[in-house]
Chain A
Amino acid sequence: MVVTKDQVESLFAGGADLSQGDYVIRAVDVRKIYRMGDTETHALRGATLDILRGEYLSIMGPSGSGKTTFFNMIGGLGKPSAGKVYIDQVDIAQLDPYELAWLRCRKVGYIFQAFNLIQVMSCLENVMLPMAFAGVTSEDARDKAMEILAEVGLEDRALHKPSEMSGGQQQRVAIARALANSPAILLADEPTANLDLRTGEEIIELFSRLKETRGVTIITATHDLKMLKRSDRIVWIEDGRIDRVTTPEAMNIEVGEVH
């Protein structure tokens, strides 16, 4: 299921044709330099990318390509050394820590490879946590959390601890948590990597549904072919730059059915 670099390079067939539209994220010539003592590591060397509202975007790249750094930048988890990142027209470099926290709380929902649910809390409490950070009163948060859990099909497991649930269920709780404050963007880092094929497919299905019903922008870093196939666009990062932007059709991904 995992695509090697050579395979992908052969699959990419030039940039995708995108009409002008409403951009939810704009990255302009983003550079990031990590300094460790005297050595400088250029993780990003000028990455430019516009992401449309409601788009389903996949980011690919070999390890060390700057993929993770780029992912962090557009998710508001780090500030670029040079260049601009606009999330909903806001330059994140201008934000103070309080505003950044506000942005992370309400504009972006994060989904992790290892789910990252707080083990001490029940599913409901996990989903309520971002709302608590947003200052929502606990009654309102409880009602809304139950609604979202129902949306991901886990309303009957609300009071269970994450450790009592399967991986697929945990990831759905994590998605519910990411949706808690109705963010414009869902940022998912290899969301299916820790799941088996079938549950992975369920998660991909859920993403597609959320894109339709909520109009949320979904950005994933992934090597899962099934995910790539459902994406609107696929971004290939190499050597700190956006190497290619393409569509699944252009990549001609063929995925067999899982039985």
Chain B
Amino acid sequence: MENIGTQVRLPISTAVQIALQGIKIRLGRALVTISGVVLGIAFLMSVFTGELISGTGYIKGAMAQREELNNTVKMMESFVSQALGSPKDKIIGIVVAGELDQSELILAKRLARLTQDQKQAPKEVRAVGLSLPGLTRADVREVGKDASMLIVMGNSGALATAFEALTAGMEQVYVLDTYKPVVMAAAEGAHDVKMRTYAGAPVVVVEHSGQKYEQLYGDQQQEVLREQAEKAESARFRTVWVMIISLLVTIIGITNSLLMSVTERFKEIGTMKCLGALSVFIRQLFLIESALIGFTGSFLGMLVGALLPMLMYSISYRDPATGALGAGFGVIFGTINYPLLLAAGLSAVVVGTLLAIMAAIYPANFAARMVPAMALRSNV
């Protein structure tokens, strides 16, 4: 074969150029295919983002932390209501020593708000060392007078010695120590303390607290925690399953659209082969077209899937203390783990592009197998 050469392989850039032109002319179809990818990847990305915001797994999101805080406050509140019954017409005393943590502040705010409530308004909520609208300022020596309950807040143990003074004037001693049981331990000998709890961290309460808490909360709390874990597990399983299905649907969508595109371009492909295009080149053409569609779609889907959940969580975020809307943007956008969000976004784009290339394998081979004589059939 002295006068026959071997056809050169064209550089990828030529294939990219022709594939881009192909997308441009069939923009409508390409947009439909792209929107399919956008949906699939947006779903994947929104699961990632949701996990970063409200996940309880390896990464604790802002919403999960808020949820935990909420649980802590709820536990303390439920202690109050178990000890007091209805707070109506009762006196509650609050003593603050040292710094308050968030859950303590929220509890105090909620108790203060309780005074505005017509049906359940306590007679008085008095406080030492804390000033909030709704709270009455009180003196250390008089805070316990006629009070049905005393709540000790703050991270300082300084009140331990003053315990007797604090509880002076209380008929029955219900004390909620929100920070350290140290205060109570010191007081226990001297007083008939009916109930107390340590609410700083619910799980720790269950595992490490004294017998009294376990009698009160232990079993119940553990049950609740176990139920929550089971629910989270089944929700996770469901999410993964739906995610896989949606990605499969995306793949099938791309394959279908590319097959139609190949069928439509029989003549064009045949012509290219007549002009000297290799099968490899035709295959490349479709793989590149699909990769471009997949990349564009995944990139847009990644943006949608990241921003939409962040916006939704932001809009629906309620302040734990006041229940008010509006503060969410700062909380969500300020606390989300950006390096992890970026990593999730990158992997969503990579996954989308790879899936698009996978989806193109069959249509691309189908196109590459086309015989050049196809170009001669004028009715195709």
Residues of chain A at the chain B interface (Cβ within 8 Å): 68, 71-72, 77-78, 88-90, 94-99, 101-106, 110, 112-114, 116, 118-121, 129-130, 132-135, 177, 181, 189-190, 193-194
Contacts of A77 in B (CB 8 A): 274, 371-373, 376
The answer to whether the Cβ of B14 comes within 8 Å of any Cβ in the partner chain is yes
Contact call A120/B275, Cβ cutoff below 8 A: no
A108 → B minimal CB distance (Å):
8
Sorted from nearest, which 3 A-B pairs have the closest CB atoms?
A105-B276, A133-B276, A101-B7
* A99-B22 contact given A78-B371, A106-B276, A112-B271, CB 8 Å threshold: no
The answer to whether the Cβ of B204 comes within 8 Å of any Cβ in the partner chain is no
**Which of B7, B267, B375 lies in contact with A133, CB distance below 8 A?**
B7
The answer to whether the Cβ of B224 comes within 8 Å of any Cβ in the partner chain is no
A43 → B minimal CB distance (Å):
12
Question: Can you report 8 A-B residue pairs in the complex whose CB atoms are below 8 A from each other?
Answer: A77-B274, A77-B371, A99-B7, A101-B277, A110-B275, A119-B25, A120-B22, A133-B276
* Range, interface on chain B: 20 to 34
B302 → A minimal CB distance (Å):
29
Q: How far, in whole Å, are A71 and B378 apart by their CA atoms in the complex?
A: 15
Q: How far, in whole Å, are A95 and B371 apart by their CA atoms in the complex?
A: 15
Q: How far, in whole Å, are A233 and B270 apart by their CA atoms in the complex?
A: 29
Q: How far, in whole Å, are A103 and B6 apart by their CA atoms in the complex?
A: 8
The answer to whether the Cβ of B283 comes within 8 Å of any Cβ in the partner chain is no
Contact call A177/B25, Cβ cutoff below 8 A: no
Contacts of A110 in B (CB 8 A): 271, 274-275, 375
The answer to whether the Cβ of B268 comes within 8 Å of any Cβ in the partner chain is yes
Q: How far, in whole Å, are A112 and B380 apart by their CA atoms in the complex?
A: 13
Contact call B24/A120, Cβ cutoff below 8 A: yes
The answer to whether the Cβ of B273 comes within 8 Å of any Cβ in the partner chain is yes
Contacts of A103 in B (CB 8 A): 4
Q: How far, in whole Å, are A198 and B8 apart by their CA atoms in the complex?
A: 40
**Which of B267, B275, B279, B281 lies in contact with A177, CB distance below 8 A?**
B275
**Which of B3, B10, B24, B372 lies in contact with A104, CB distance below 8 A?**
B372
Contact call B267/A130, Cβ cutoff below 8 A: no
Q: How far, in whole Å, are A119 and B272 apart by their CA atoms in the complex?
A: 12
Contact call B6/A189, Cβ cutoff below 8 A: no
* A114-B267 contact given A101-B273, A104-B276, A121-B21, CB 8 Å threshold: yes
The answer to whether the Cβ of B130 comes within 8 Å of any Cβ in the partner chain is no
**Known pairs A110-B271, A134-B276 / 8 extra A-B pairs, C-beta < 8 Å:** A77-B274, A101-B277, A102-B5, A102-B276, A118-B271, A120-B21, A133-B276, A189-B376
Contact call B267/A129, Cβ cutoff below 8 A: no
Contact call B275/A104, Cβ cutoff below 8 A: yes
* A116-B271 contact given A102-B4, A102-B5, A133-B10, CB 8 Å threshold: yes
Contact call A99/B273, Cβ cutoff below 8 A: no
Contacts of B281 in A (CB 8 A): 133
**Which of B6, B10, B271 lies in contact with A99, CB distance below 8 A?**
B6
* A105-B7 contact given A90-B1, A118-B268, CB 8 Å threshold: yes
Contact call B1/A112, Cβ cutoff below 8 A: no
Contacts of B3 in A (CB 8 A): 88-90
Residue of A nearest to B279 (CB): A97
Q: How far, in whole Å, are A150 and B200 apart by their CA atoms in the complex?
A: 88
Contact call A132/B10, Cβ cutoff below 8 A: yes
- Chain B positions 188-214 with a Cβ under 8 Å from a chain A Cβ: none
Contact call A112/B24, Cβ cutoff below 8 A: no
Contact call A102/B7, Cβ cutoff below 8 A: yes
**Which of A99, A101, A112, A120 lies in contact with B376, CB distance below 8 A?**
A112
The answer to whether the Cβ of B140 comes within 8 Å of any Cβ in the partner chain is no
Contacts of B14 in A (CB 8 A): 132
Contacts of A181 in B (CB 8 A): 276
The answer to whether the Cβ of B106 comes within 8 Å of any Cβ in the partner chain is no
The answer to whether the Cβ of B278 comes within 8 Å of any Cβ in the partner chain is yes
A221 → B minimal CB distance (Å):
9
Contacts of B4 in A (CB 8 A): 90, 95, 99, 102-103
Contacts of A132 in B (CB 8 A): 10, 14
A38 → B minimal CB distance (Å):
22
Q: How far, in whole Å, are A170 and B54 apart by their CA atoms in the complex?
A: 62
Contacts of A90 in B (CB 8 A): 1, 3-4
Contacts of B7 in A (CB 8 A): 98-99, 101-102, 105, 133
Residue of B nearest to A121 (CB): B21
Q: How far, in whole Å, are A134 and B315 apart by their CA atoms in the complex?
A: 60
Contacts of A72 in B (CB 8 A): 373, 376
A65 → B minimal CB distance (Å):
15
Q: How far, in whole Å, are A72 and B272 apart by their CA atoms in the complex?
A: 15
A185 → B minimal CB distance (Å):
12
Q: How far, in whole Å, are A113 and B380 apart by their CA atoms in the complex?
A: 12
A232 → B minimal CB distance (Å):
23
Contacts of A133 in B (CB 8 A): 7, 10, 272, 275-277, 281
Contact call A102/B6, Cβ cutoff below 8 A: yes
Contact call A98/B267, Cβ cutoff below 8 A: no
Contacts of A114 in B (CB 8 A): 267, 378
Contact call A104/B274, Cβ cutoff below 8 A: yes
**Which of A113, A129, A194 lies in contact with B272, CB distance below 8 A?**
A129
Contact call A112/B375, Cβ cutoff below 8 A: yes
